[in-house]
Structure 1
Amino acid sequence: MLGALAVAALAVTAAPTAAGAAADPAGVLHLTVTGTDGSPAGGNVAVTAADSSYDKDLLPLDESGQLSVEVPAGDYKIAITPVYSDGQDDEVLRQWVPGRTSWAQAGTVRVSAGDTTEVSERLVTPSGSTLRARDAVTGAAVDGVCVFLDPRRNPCGDTRVTVPPLIPGPQEVWVYTRDDTHLPRYATVNVLADGSGTAVVVLTPAANVVSRVVDAVTGAPVAGACVTPAPAGTGELPANPGRYCSDASGNVRVGLVAAGSWNLFARPAGGSAYGAQWVGATGGTGDVKQARMVTLRAGQTVTVPPIRLDRAGVVTGTVTSAATGKPATSGTVTLAPETGDFPDWGVELDAQGRYRIDWLGPYGWPLLFTTADNAPQWSGGFALRGKAVPVTVRAGATTVYDLAARRGVLVTGRLVDPEGRPVVAELTVRNARTREVIGRTADRDGEYALRVLGPQPVTVAWLWTPPFVSYAGWYDGAARPADATEVTLPGTGTLRLDVAVDRYPAG
Structure 2
Amino acid sequence: MSFVRRSLATFTAAVLAAALPAAASAQEQDVGLLRLTVTQPDGTAARGVVDLAATDDSYSGYLQLDESGQLSVEVPAADYKVRITPAYYDPDLPDDGLRQWVPGKTRYADAEAFRVAAGGTTDVAERLVTPSPITVRARDAITGAPLTRVCAYAVDRGGNCDEAELTIPRLVPGPQTIRVYTEDGNYLATDAEVTVVEGDSGPAVVDLTPAAHVETTVVDAATGAPVGGACATVAPSGTGELPAVGPLACSDESGHLRLDGVEAGSWKLFVRPTGGSLYGAQWVGATGGTGDPAKARTLTVAAGGTVIAPPVRLDRAGTITGTVTSAATGTPVTSGTVSLAHSSGLSYLHWDADLNAQGTYRIDWLGPYRWPLLFSTSHHALQWSGGVAIRSQAKPVTVRAAQSTTYSPALKRGTLVTGRLTNPAGRPVSAVLTFHNAATGEVVGSTWDNDGRYETRVLGRQTVTVGWQWGGFADYAGWYDGVADVAAAKRVTVPSSGTLTVDIGLRPFPAV
TM-score by length of 2: 0.93
Q: 1:287 aligns with which of 272, 289, 292?
A: 292
Q: 2:319 aligns with which of 283, 292, 314?
A: 314
Structure 2 gaps of 5+ residues are 1-10
Tell me the alpha carbon deviations over residues 211-251 of structure 1, each in whole angstroms, 9 at most, x when there is no partner. 12221112222222110111012111112689311122222
Q: Secondary structure in 2 aligned to 1:104?
A: helix
The match for 1:435 is 441
* 1:200-239 equivalent positions in 2, closer than 5 A: 200-239=205-244
Measured at CA, do residues 402 and 446 of structure 1 come closer, stay the same or move farther in structure 2, by a change above 3 Å?
same
Higher relative contact order (Cα pairs below 8 Å, separated by 6+ residues):
1
Question: Which among 174, 178, 181 is matched to residue 173 of structure 1?
Answer: 178
Taking the aligned partners of 1:376 and 1:388, their CA distance within structure 2 comes to: 12
Does the 8 Å contact 1:431/1:458 carry over to 2?
yes
Between 1:335-344 and 1:445-454, the stretch displaced more is: 335-344
Structure 1: any 5+ residue segments left out of the alignment? 1-7
Question: What is the deviation of 1:273?
Answer: 1.0
Any conservation in 2 of the 1:328–1:372 contact (CA below 8 Å)?
no
Q: Is the 8 A contact 2:467 2:479 kept in 1?
A: yes
Distance 1:503 1:182 in 2: 34
CA contact 1:226–1:241 (8 Å) conserved in 2:
no
Partner of 1:375: 381
Cα distance, 1:61 vs. partner?
1.4
C-alpha deviation, 1:21, in angstroms: 6.0
Equivalent position to 2:32, from 21, 27, 30: 27
Aligned partners of 2:103 and 2:112 also within 8 Å: yes
SS, match of residue 386 in structure 1: helix
**1:150 CA displacement:** 4.3
Deviations 1:101-157 (A, max 9, x none): 211221122212222322221111112222222212112112222211146531323
Q: Residue 471 in 1 paired to residue 476 in 2? A: yes
1:197 corresponds to 2:196: no
Q: Do the aligned partners of 1:230 and 1:265 also contact (CA within 8 Å) in 2?
A: yes
Aligned to 2:505: 500
Residue 265 to residue 293, structure 1, CA distance change in 2 (3 Å): same
Q: Is the 8 A contact 2:344 2:351 kept in 1?
A: no
2:33, 2:116 within 8 Å by CA — same for their partners in 1? Answer: yes
Aligned residues: 498
- Quickly say closer, same or farther: Cα 1:83–1:348, change in 2 above 3 A: farther
Any conservation in 2 of the 1:153–1:164 contact (CA below 8 Å)?
Answer: no
Aligned to 1:65: 69
Note the alpha carbon deviations across 1:315-337, whole angstroms, 9 max, x for none.
Answer: 00011111111111211110011
User: In structure 1, what is the equivalent of residue 362 of structure 2?
Assistant: 356
Determine the structure 1 residue equivalent to 2:392: 386
Residue 59 of structure 2 is matched in structure 1 by 54
Question: Which amino acid letter does the alignment assign opposite residue 65 of structure 2?
Answer: L
Equivalent residues of 2:344, 2:352 under 8 A apart: no
State the 1:11 CA deviation: 4.3
* 1:235-246 matches, cutoff 5 A: 235-239=240-244, 243-246=248-251
Distance of 1:501 and 1:150 partners within structure 2: 28
1:439-471 CA-to-partner distances (Å, cap 9, x unmatched) read 000012111111111111110000002x22100
Kindly indicate whether the alpha-carbon contact (under 8 Å) linking 2:338 and 2:352 is maintained by their aligned counterparts in 1: yes
Alignment-derived partner of residue 452 in structure 2: 446
User: What does residue 127 of structure 1 align with?
Assistant: 132
Q: Which residue of 1 aligns with 2:273?
A: 268
Q: By how many angstroms is 1:164 displaced?
A: 1.8
Q: For 1:222, give the aligned amino acid.
A: V
Q: Residues 367 and 153 (structure 1 numbering): CA distance in 2 closer, same or farther, change over 3 Å? A: closer
| Contact 2:218–2:255 (CA under 8 A) maintained in structure 1 | yes
Q: Equivalent residue of 1:27, what SS?
A: strand
Could you tell me which amino acid in structure 1 is paired with residue 491 of structure 2? E
Whole-Å Cα distance in 2 between the matches of residues 476 and 24 of structure 1?
A: 31
Cα pair 2:285 2:296 within 8 Å, conserved: yes
Residue matched to 1:78: 82
Q: How far apart, in 2, do the equivalents of 1:377 and 1:324 lie? A: 17
Distance, in Å, in 2 between the alignment partners of 1:88 and 1:452 is 45
Q: 1:20 to 1:488 in 2, by over 3 A?
A: farther
Amino acid paired to 2:324: V
Range with greater deviation from structure 2 (390-399 or 133-142): 133-142
For residues 476 and 423 of structure 2, what CA distance do their matches in structure 1 show?
A: 11
**Could you tell me how far apart the structure 2 residues matched to 1:144 and 1:294 are?**
29
Distance change (3 Å), C-alpha of 1:127 and 1:65 = same
**Residues 386, 281 of structure 1: alpha-carbon distance in 2 compared, 3 angstrom cutoff:** same
- What code does the residue aligned with 1:221 have? P
Q: Is 1:45 equivalent to 2:50 in the alignment? A: yes
Q: 1:349/1:242 Cα in 2 relative to 1: closer, same or farther (>3 Å)? A: farther
The CA distance in 2 between the partners of 1:293 and 1:14, in whole Å, is 40
The TM-score with structure 1 as length reference comes to 0.94
The percent identity for this pair of structures is: 58
